[in-house]
Every structure is written in C-alpha cells, then in structure tokens.
A and B are shown apart, each in its own frame.
Chain A
Amino acid sequence: MALDDRKSEFTFVGTRPDRPDGLDKVTGRAKFGADMSAPGMLHGAILRSPHAHARIVKIDTSKAEEHKDVKAIVTRADFADVPFKPGLEGEFWNVLENVMAGDKALYDGHAVAAVAATSALAARDALKLIEVEYDVLPHVTDVDKAMAADAPVIREGAADYSVPQGMHPNVVRYHESGHGDVEAGFAEADLVIEDSFVTEATHQGYIEPHACLGALGSDGKGELWCCTQGHWIVQKTCAALLGIETSQLRVTASEIGGGFGGKTTVFIEPVALALSRKANRPVKIVMSRSEVFRATGPTASASMDVKIGMKKDGTITAAQGIFRLQGGAFPGAPGDMTAMCAFAPYDLTNVRQVGYDVMSNRPKQAAYRAPGAPMGAFAVESVLDELCNQLDLDPVDVRLKNAAQEGTKASYGPRYERIGLVETLEAAKAHPHYSAPLEPGQGRGISCGFWFNHGGETSVSLALSEDGSAQVMVGTPDIGGSRASMALMAAEVLGIPYENIRVTIADTASLGYNDVSHGSRVTYASGLATIKAAKHAVEKLCERAAAKWGIPVDAVKWQDGCAVPSGPNAGDFDPMPLADITADMGRTGGPISGHFEATPEGAGVSFGTHIVDAEVDPETGKTSITRYTVIQDAGKAIHPTYVEGQFQGGAAQGIGWALNEEYIYGDDGRLQNSIFLDYRIPVASDLPMIDTVIVEVPNPGHPFGVRGVGETGIVPPLAAIANAVSNAAGVRMKQLPMSPPRILAALKANG
C-alpha cells in the first residue's frame, strides 16, 4: 500500500474498453435475482402489517394451511432465538426483528408471516387466508415529533451509552465532535446566519426488486442465490438468524440491477430459507415494487439547524450544526455521519457538530450512497450560499478561501493526507459552465461535498490458464463496472490484454470473507487486492523463468508481459512471454495462482464540486435543471467511462431527491406512494446532459492512486440544486423535495 508501487505510465489503466458483462446484459442472458429456478421450487410470499405500530395479538394460519397448494408457513417462531442486545452488537436481532416481526409490527409493511406454495399466485392467495389480530398503538413517523416528550416509544432500552440523560427513548445514539470555540468564533464574524432545514426520506430506486432462491435442508446445509451487494454478510446474517453454521450456507450473488447501498443487508433471504427448511424444497421470493418501497431500507429523513459566521472577506469564523436523523423503527440512522461530513470540506478554527439517531414507525433505513452526508451538505452549503449572497461574495472564491488541504485538521478530527478539493474548485472556476450567462428566470448553484471512503475486508484470487489467459475471483458484487476495472488493473500488472482476463464474482465457498460493495471501496480495495494477487502470480512466473534459465530469481524481472533478465549481468536470454511459462506449468511446478487478502486502510477521502443551473416557472413552481457539471477527484480513473457514470448517476439521483422524491405518510402512518407513479424519480427527459470533469489527485494509499468515486457524487447535488433553485426563485428553499407546490407556496409567501 505504498507509493513505491506507483506506476507513472499506464498501458491499460485509463483506457475505456467495453465492459465484460455488457453483451450478457443487453441480450438478456445475464441472470439477475429473479432469473434462477430449481427443480421442485416453491414460491414464497410475505404478509405485511397494514398498521404503522401495533401489538400482534394472534396470528391464525389454519385456513392458509388447508390451502391445497401451500407447503409451508412461517412466523417469527420459526427463526433462531437470538437474545436481544442493544446497540451495534444487537444488529442481528434488529435484522431478525425487521425480516419477521416479533411482538409488535413497527411500521406499515413490516413482515408478520410468510407462505410457500406451488405457484406465486397461490402463495399470494394464501396470504389472504392468514388472520392476524392487531392491537393498534399510537405511531410517529416524523423525526422531530419522534423526539418530543409525548411521542410513543418505539422500543424501551434501545438507546446506547452515547445518549445524554433526559432524552426521549426514541433517541438511540448521539454524536458530538468538533474543535475550537464556536461562540468566540461567532463573535468574530461580520455576519452570522442560522437556519433550519428539512429533508424527506428517499429510496435508492434500484430498478431490480429484491429476489432470491433459497434451499435449506434439515441437515443445516443450504444454498442461496440472491441479488445483493455482499453475499458474505448475507451468509453470516442468514446463518445467525436460522441458527446454522456460517460455512454450511453457500451464497451466490446474482447479477445486480442496482443497489446504491440498499442491498447491503437482508430482507427476504432468511424468510426464503426458513420456508425451505420447513417445506424441504427450494423457495423463491421476488418482491413487488410496493414491497420494496414499504419494507426495504430507504435513507433517513432529517431535521437540521446550521449556524455559520463569516467575515466580510469570506473567512468562516465558526460553524455549528445539529442534525436529527430518523431511520425507522431500529437504531442506525447515520446522524453521526451527517455530523462528521457536514463541515469536512472546510478548514475551520471553530466547529461543533451534533448528530442524533432517532427511531420512528418507518421501515429500517439502509445505506444510500454516502449515507447521511447529502442532507448535511444541503443545510451547510445552503447557509454558505446565503452568506455569499448577503456579503456579495463569489461562492467558488469563498469555498476556495476556506477549503481543506493536506494537513488541515478535519472537522471530524484527523488531519488530511493529500486531498483534491482545491483542484475541484479551481476546475469549477475555470469551467465554461461557471462563466456562462444565465437566462432570465434561471439561477446557478454551487456546492462542495465530502465522503470518507472505506477499505474493508477483502480477498482476491487469480489463476493463470495454460494458454496464458487469467481468471480473477473477487468477492465484491459488481455494482458499477468493477469487473472491467479489475481486469484493467490485472492486465496492467500481468502485461496481458484486458480481453484475456475474465473476472468473476466468486461465491462464498470460493474465497474468504469479503465486505459488501459499499463505502466506494471496490475499485480501491478489491482493486488493490487484485494488483497484489497479480504481483503474487508474477513472482511465481519469474521463479519459473529463473529455473528455466538456471539463474537466480532475483536476476529476473517482469516487463510488458514477459520475464526478462534484470540486467546485462544476469544473462543473455530472450524475453519469455507469460503464455510460454504457463504452457508447461504443470510440469514445472504446477498451477500458477496469486492471492491477496487484507483490510486495507488507505482508502483516501474524496471531494467533489458541482455546478447547477435551474429554471423555475414562476406561475407553477416547476423546476427544470438546464445545465449540470460534476467535478470530482477520482485519484486515478481506472476506467474513465465508469467514473463518469458514477458522477452522472449521483447527479441524476440528486435531482430526484432534491426536486420530487419523498416518502409520503398519511395520518394513519401508512406509506401513500409505494409505486413509481407517485414516488417520482426523474425520467430520462427530466435530466439535462450531465457534464463531468475527472480530477486526478492520486491517493497515496493505493498502488495506482485510486480513490473511490461511488458515493461522493451524491453529496453535493441537494445543496447545489437548492442553491440554484433559490437563486432562480429569489427565495431560500429550506425543505426537500422542492416540489412545485412547495416552490409556488414559497414564491407566494415572498410576494
């Protein structure tokens, strides 16, 4: 993990070959979660609570059991009895409670029973025969109301040690950090702005609903096929929930139709396995879109107060933020992440941030790209924009003036290594978009964004074939073109063409533990491991060449896909290509493979700057995004097309989150918009062409300089769009989504 591995010139890295899974995907040959079948397979369906909060008095399955096509019914009693432990250690309990309700249904859509039948239709019909008696309880779905003294308690004793005395039991985690003296800082400011902001929960909106096929025998041995961002966590969780040994369950990840963080946990997989164990047949479960909205993990909603002081020259004197996040009926809302990321782009003398994790009667939140960071950026960057407007300062200049650099003490504690924020701001300032004139009715918005990035447990194997081709086994499902990136990095080390390398997402029986594809970690960590595994194979190739030549191994080096003598003194031999060594490897010592496993720690934090133009119809409040430019530090772009895809995807999802997407709950606590008709993600014609600029400030923690790019792209859009809309409308928008009714109301209130 060191700079001495750095190559200054690349042959394959930085090129844009076709993705290896492309043909399968465009011809329909790729197998996604719902595409797998097995002999004797049953179809599972899940009964869900219609109530936001209710005690389950009784579940009568007798009529459903009499249905001729029903082969098994499960309720909570069919799962392992995992003792309740609060906090992080209790996550298995939380997941179990989420996949199948215990004493109480905690949100609209909470699973209460499941059926396996010989057809999907029969399973659905059988659900209607299950009678559940509920004792409906008071509910709360709003974060501020959930913290109020009179809020119904979701679960006593769920709070951990971090929560100060006197908070409502629904506040389950508390984070506070910062440095300096914010009050002294505010006193030094020429202008202090304090304001409150609200964001609604949004769903990742992946196009593929969750689907799985599970088989579990009475001997405790099982097989599971599912669409997931990480099959080892599925293996570990399902084994725990069903009380079997982890290694006895083999999990294979399907192709995945989007995840964005939402497929980093389990929802239906343990249920399919429990049904299978009871029916002694394989069971397939495929969620409907409505189930995806009601019962998987959207992001948290947020209520935030931000206060920033600034001098007339643009210097920030102090910054403070209070971030309250609601993450459903379980601990886990990323209030700590929101707090830590909110001010991270800036070099601040005085900063303080507080984050709350609050429970309410909503589905258990899951990760959604840079979880927690976009909301905080929305609040902070809106206040910065307002300060710039009122002090008549250029928003890019002000951010440059305060930008964090190498050595800056981050708002969340550590000092930064080499980072690329300044470079993204300079690129923004130089970009033609920033100086382009605006039409009447249009406004421009700027925002920076930060995300930590992650390393995580990683294991990769690489094997060479006799014809000189290579197969790479990685354990991180490909959610953004990573098979192409892995092949490029392996090609770079081995010196063989990209096309000669096949990258496979190996099942849980083929590699050691791999963390999920999250934290923008795959190109960084699996990439690093692929490079190291390839180097490991190269060492063996050099050994074989040395033996053939009868010279010491340290007299052989690897160059352009060949073993060559390391210098004139080593001997006079022609370069020996990789395929010449593998052709007879069976007789020269056996198969040649490389392997690497570690938990790499040098992921390298990431920054981006977005420029957005928006136009608001003053008569209807309707917004159109007329121009969008994403500028982000990628460290080193392995496959630039997929880096650009990540940037554009962040902008697209951000436009949806900022303008129209929201979880809408009725007074009855039920989700009102659980289909794509009313949960309004952007359609293609809602989006402008999204321009991208890849900044490359190499990450010292990766051999080729990679920084993850998957998450940072979702951090600036909410704020950048809000600033553009606010500047176009002439009124500060403080609540997301900025739907036409909200904008029209703000315009009217502003006269």
Chain B
Amino acid sequence: MEFHSPTSFAEASALAAKATGITRFLAGGTDVLVQLRSDLVTPDTLIDIKKIDGVGKITCNADGSWTLGVAVTGAEMSEHPELGRDWPGLVEAMDLIGSTQVQGRATLAGNLCNGSPAADSVPAMVAAGVTMTVTGEDGTREVAVEDIPTGPGKTSLAKGEVVSAVNIPARGDNGGDAYLRFIPRTEMDIAVVGVGVNLRLDGDTITEARVSLGAVAPTVLLVDACAEAIIGSTLDDAALDALAAAASAACNPIDDKRGTITFRTEVAGVLAKRAAKIAYARAKGEDL
C-alpha cells in the first residue's frame, strides 16, 4: 500500500489520477480505516488530505454562506457558535453519526463520498442545498450534493477527482431546517429511514421547500413531490398528510437486517411530517 500526504488538492488529484488499483482519500478515516481493518476494502493507495492548508477551517462568507474545509469534524461543527444557529438541522444530522470519538474525526465530505444511502448528514445537506467543490486534473467544479452518490458505495466523481471544499448556502430570512432519522435505539446506530427538510416562509405560508429522504433507496433522494405537497401551505394537516404520502410514494427501499420495505415506506412518511413541523417552527423563529 502507498501512503501519501499531499499539501495541495492539485497534488492530491494528480496522485489519485496516476494511482492504480483501489484509491481512497483519508480525512477522518471513520469509514476508510474501519473498512480496511475488517478486510472489506484494502486500498492500494491511501491519500491523506488532512495536511492540506485550510482543510480544518469553518468560514462564514460575506454573503452569509459558509465554506467548510473537508477535514472539519462533526464535533467542530457542533461546537461552532454560529453555524448551528443558521443550519441546526444540518449540524444535528452530522452530530447523530457515531460516538463521541467518531465525532472527533468524521467529516461531511467523508460521509458523502462513502456512498451509503443511510448516511445521516447527506439528506440534511441535500435539503439545505449544499454543494461540493471538486478538484480534478482540469481544475475545479462545483457539484450539488445530490448529484454525487450514484449507488451504494459509488459516486459520480471521476478518477483523480477529490472533494476540496463544502459550500453551505446563506440561511437567509424566515428559513428553517431539520433532520430526523429512525433507529431502534437512541444512539450509536445507523438510519433505517432519514428525512431532511428545509423550508422558507412568507408569514405563515411555505414559499420554498426541499425534502430529502435517506435509507429508502439506493441513493439519498431529493423528492420534489414532497416539496410541492407543502409549498403554498401553512403546514396544515392536509399538507402534512400529502407530504407523508409523497414521501412514502418516493420510497424504493429493500428488506434487510435493519428494516423492512413496509416499515421504511410507512415511517418515511411519519418522519417527513415530524421533521417538517420542526423546520416550520424554526422558520418561525422558535428555538427547537
């Protein structure tokens, strides 16, 4: 196995481009090292991107948007004084992953690029409209989070491409987000269903919404029908029922050791309603 510690994303990209066999980028390592130890994936090339300048920074830009380095950890996000005020749902989603020890290492980009349909931060990022800056041999491009996973363990990133920054939009006025997942326990578990909701109000009426579902299909879903079900409403019971129905209808899950098709389909609707209520209350300025 070859191990590299490049000092720039261009160098990281070049190393990955010329590598043969299996390549993995190492940020927090909470998936890569576990897979290595359990013989699931033994990389031929391991590229540590934590030595690159700025990867640990959380920056609030002049327009209110945020740029996060790819090695920013869940713990750093949770403890940031401002980020959680803008995007409580996104920060909470990240905080749900793993133990305290894992939180000290795990990153948004890693959670995304691991390609798990059950990744907790991904539906929250999709709902929030987060994009990733991707560096390749030909320079950088900006990609919406929902366009990166293509199936379990698979992404749309080309050989030699590496995520180099996380871009979170400005919160703006009268907005709120929320993420809820279902697990049989209270923590230290993996989502059986996850739902992220992000919306904006004009008065009591929802004017914008993005709803994302996790663990109910081969990739995390951005469900327009869910958004349409609540846009224009005051999140009354009829809108909530329509939201639940749209969420359940969008599900394309599997039966496995973590849950059944019937269960996931049903609970996706239940969680969509509950998450929407929280996002709505947050948009109204309630501190939830």
A, B assembled together: yes
Using A620-B182, A677-B189, A677-B190 as known contacts, say yes or no to A741 and B262 having CB atoms under 8 A apart.
yes
The reply to whether B262 and A682 contact each other, CB–CB distance below 8 Å, is no
The A interface is mostly helix, strand or loop, or mixed, namely loop
Contacts of A621 in B (CB 8 A): 263
- Of the candidates B39, B257, B262, B263, which one forms a contact with A678 in the assembled complex, judged by CB atoms under 8 Å apart? B257
Is B20's beta carbon under 8 Å from chain A? no
The reply to whether A744 and B189 contact each other, CB–CB distance below 8 Å, is no
The reply to whether A672 and B257 contact each other, CB–CB distance below 8 Å, is yes
Q: In the complex, what distance in Å separates the CA atom of A664 from the CA atom of B256?
A: 10
Contacts of A664 in B (CB 8 A): 257
B261 to chain A, nearest CB (A): 10
Using A672-B257, A740-B263, A741-B260 as known contacts, say yes or no to A680 and B270 having CB atoms under 8 A apart.
no
Q: In the complex, what distance in Å separates the CA atom of A678 from the CA atom of B188?
A: 10
Closest to A289 in B: B38
Using A673-B257, A741-B260, A741-B263 as known contacts, say yes or no to A680 and B187 having CB atoms under 8 A apart.
no
Contacts of A673 in B (CB 8 A): 257
Is A19's beta carbon under 8 Å from chain B? no
Is B85's beta carbon under 8 Å from chain A? no
Interface string of B130-147 (1 = CB under 8 A from A): 000000000000000000
The reply to whether B185 and A744 contact each other, CB–CB distance below 8 Å, is no
Is A745's beta carbon under 8 Å from chain B? yes
A482 to chain B, nearest CB (A): 31
* Pair count A-B, CB < 8 A: 54
Contacts of A739 in B (CB 8 A): 184
The reply to whether B184 and A745 contact each other, CB–CB distance below 8 Å, is no
Instruction: Kindly name the residue among B187, B189, B257, B260 whose own CB sees the greatest number of chain A CB atoms within 10 A.
Output: B257
The reply to whether B185 and A619 contact each other, CB–CB distance below 8 Å, is no
Contacts of A709 in B (CB 8 A): none
B263 to chain A, nearest CB (A): 4
The reply to whether A683 and B186 contact each other, CB–CB distance below 8 Å, is yes
Is A401's beta carbon under 8 Å from chain B? no
- Of the candidates A290, A672, A686, A745, which one forms a contact with B186 in the assembled complex, judged by CB atoms under 8 Å apart? A686
The reply to whether B184 and A660 contact each other, CB–CB distance below 8 Å, is yes
Closest to A659 in B: B184
- Of the candidates B38, B185, B270, which one forms a contact with A660 in the assembled complex, judged by CB atoms under 8 Å apart? B185
Q: How many residues of B are in contact with the other chain, CB < 8 A?
A: 21
Interface string of A726-743 (1 = CB under 8 A from B): 000000000000011100
Which residues of chain A from 646 to 678 have any CB-CB distance to chain B below 8 Å in the complex? 659-660, 664, 672-673, 677-678
Is B241's beta carbon under 8 Å from chain A? no
B101 to chain A, nearest CB (A): 14
B283 to chain A, nearest CB (A): 23
Is A622's beta carbon under 8 Å from chain B? yes
Q: How many residues of A are in contact with the other chain, CB < 8 A?
A: 24
Is A8's beta carbon under 8 Å from chain B? no
Interface string of B105-124 (1 = CB under 8 A from A): 00000000000000000000
Interface string of B186-222 (1 = CB under 8 A from A): 1111101000000000000000000000000000000
Instruction: Kindly name the residue among A672, A680, A745 whose own CB sees the greatest number of chain B CB atoms within 10 A.
Output: A680
B98 to chain A, nearest CB (A): 10
Contacts of B228 in A (CB 8 A): none
- Of the candidates A683, A686, A741, which one forms a contact with B259 in the assembled complex, judged by CB atoms under 8 Å apart? A741
B68 to chain A, nearest CB (A): 26
Q: In the complex, what distance in Å separates the CA atom of A741 from the CA atom of B187?
A: 18
The reply to whether A744 and B263 contact each other, CB–CB distance below 8 Å, is yes
Closest to B190 in A: A677
- Of the candidates A677, A686, A745, which one forms a contact with B262 in the assembled complex, judged by CB atoms under 8 Å apart? A745
Interface string of B169-184 (1 = CB under 8 A from A): 0000000000000101
Is A685's beta carbon under 8 Å from chain B? yes
Closest to A682 in B: B185
Q: In the complex, what distance in Å separates the CA atom of A621 from the CA atom of B270?
A: 11
Is B258's beta carbon under 8 Å from chain A? yes
A654 to chain B, nearest CB (A): 15
B238 to chain A, nearest CB (A): 18
Q: In the complex, what distance in Å separates the CA atom of A673 from the CA atom of B259?
A: 13
The reply to whether B257 and A740 contact each other, CB–CB distance below 8 Å, is no
The reply to whether B263 and A680 contact each other, CB–CB distance below 8 Å, is no
Is B11's beta carbon under 8 Å from chain A? no
Interface string of A677-709 (1 = CB under 8 A from B): 110101101100000000000000000000000
Is B267's beta carbon under 8 Å from chain A? yes
The reply to whether B184 and A740 contact each other, CB–CB distance below 8 Å, is yes
Is B266's beta carbon under 8 Å from chain A? yes
Q: In the complex, what distance in Å separates the CA atom of A619 from the CA atom of B189?
A: 20
Closest to A679 in B: B257
The reply to whether B270 and A678 contact each other, CB–CB distance below 8 Å, is no
Closest to B39 in A: A124
Q: In the complex, what distance in Å separates the CA atom of A288 from the CA atom of B38?
A: 9
Interface string of B264-279 (1 = CB under 8 A from A): 0011001000000000
Closest to A685 in B: B186
B192 to chain A, nearest CB (A): 8
Closest to A683 in B: B188
Contacts of B189 in A (CB 8 A): 677, 680
Q: In the complex, what distance in Å separates the CA atom of A442 from the CA atom of B138?
A: 61
Interface string of A611-654 (1 = CB under 8 A from B): 00000000111100000000000000000000000000000000
Contacts of A740 in B (CB 8 A): 182, 184, 192, 259, 263, 267
The reply to whether A686 and B185 contact each other, CB–CB distance below 8 Å, is yes
Closest to A656 in B: B185
Closest to A620 in B: B267
Name 7 interchain pairs, CB-CB below 8 A, sorted by A: A622-B182, A672-B256, A678-B190, A678-B258, A680-B184, A683-B186, A744-B266
**Interchain residue pairs A-B with the least CB separation, the first 3:** A741-B263, A685-B186, A619-B270
Having A678-B258, A686-B186, A740-B192, one finds 8 other A-B pairs with CB under 8 Å, namely A680-B185, A685-B187, A686-B185, A740-B182, A740-B263, A741-B259, A741-B263, A745-B263
On A, residues with C-beta under 8 Å from B are 124, 288, 290, 619-622, 659-660, 664, 672-673, 677-678, 680, 682-683, 685-686, 739-741, 744-745
